[in-house]
Amino acid sequence: MALSIHTNYSALTTNTSLNKFNSALATNQQRLGTGLRINSAADDAAGLQIATRLNAQSRGMAVAMRNTGDATSMLQTAEGAFSEMTDIVQRMKDLATQSANGTNSADDRTSLQGEYDELAKELANILGNTSYAGEKLFASATGVIDGAAGKFGSTAAGVTFQIGGTTAEKMTVNVSGKFTTLLSATGLGGISTVFTALAAAPTADVSAGGGEIKTAALANTEIDNLTTALNAIGSMRATFGASINRLNHVNNNLANMKDNTEMAKGRIMDADFAIESANMSKNSMLMQSGISMLKQAGQMPGMVMSLLG
């Protein structure tokens, strides 16, 4: 290589190498500082695009998991109301069965009828006031039980829950047909009189017609009506219970998919500290070596003066 004052090839190549090592060292430090392998699209354009899609999917599933939790709470609220109604109707059936016995006097049956009426009013109260997050589940906003209002009313299209991060992942719970059966006069006998009365005047003090079990014959009829009512209530509870079980499985599957999606995103985005630390040490040593050599290369033109002695 010729000796030259104007062009110092060694210094130029050494300086170029220093710039490369300095850029690589800055990248290592940035990755170690942020914990991410990709800090901008320039680091890995394709990887960033893939990671963005994975992140969108993961976040969608996280929200869907919260949705399933909220849906489960709503259905548990509805099922809990019908669980209490089951106990009430069972007690009403007990009263009807007791009233059908010939050992009772008229006064006895009047007392049985009094408890029967109060229990019927509580059934109407449960249907009229059971709500979730301020929304009535089985009645209108004013508590009218006409079967046409509420989240699960008889004319409602059901409640649709978003159980995934895409528009196709939905679940609808519709008990409108079963609720219609529950409100029918044939299915509930005298109890439906309370519903009808409260529908007309939600705050009125009404009874269940006043004579459903006041005679043995009426009591026998009411036993059959209450059996039908229990079947209708049990059918609705079964629907709610099955939906709750499904939502539990939905949540478990979402958790599994979310965990694996997060792992896939991490393999693309996360920095490997062992590799980055090793590369930083290597680039740091190359920087020090390059600076030392650049100093030596800078002394080369000085050697020309020795030739001019």
Please give the structure tokens belonging to residue 237. 């509870």
Query: What is the dihedral angle through the alpha carbons of 37, 40, 42, 46, rounded to the nearest 10 degrees?
Result: 70
Structure tokens at 37: 């392998």
More confident residue, 187 or 276: 276
Rounded Cα–Cα distance for residues 172 and 281 (Å): 58
Task: Identify the CA nearest to 157 among candidates 141, 142, 179, 135.
Answer: 179
β-bridge mates for residue 162, sequence order = 170
pTM comes to 0.78
Crossing angle for the helix pair 106-129 and 45-99, to the nearest 10 degrees: 170
Dist CA 230 CA 85 (whole Å): 9
Say if CB 41 and CB 48 are below 8 A apart: yes
Split at pLDDT 50, 70, 90, the class of 134 is: confident
Confidence of residue 69 (pLDDT cuts 50, 70, 90): very high
Q: Is the Cα dihedral 290, 295, 301, 304 positive or negative?
A: negative
Mean pLDDT taken over the chain: 83
How many angstroms separate the CA atoms of 276 and 34, rounded? Answer: 12
- Asked if residue 275 has pLDDT above 90, the reply is no
- The pLDDT of residue 212 is 76
> Across 137-141, 163-167, 226-230, 297-301, which has the greatest mean pLDDT?
163-167
Measured CA to CA in angstroms, residue 5 lies from 9, 16, 31 at distances of 10, 19, 41
Per the model's pLDDT, the better-predicted residue between 135 and 145 turns out to be: 135
Query: For the chain, what percent of residues have pLDDT higher than 90?
Result: 33
| Residue 259 predicted with pLDDT over 80 | yes
pLDDT band at 208 (very low <50, low <70, confident <90, very high): very low
Inform me whether the pLDDT recorded for 23 exceeds 80: yes
What's the whole-number mean pLDDT along residues 71-88?
A: 94
Are the C-beta atoms of residues 79 and 244 closer than 8 Å to each other? yes
Instruction: Select from 234, 237, 64 the least CA-distant residue to 152.
Output: 237
Q: What are phi and psi of 167, to 5 degrees?
A: -70, -20
- Lowest mean pLDDT of 22-36, 176-190, 248-262, name the range: 176-190
Residue with tokens 């740091």: 284
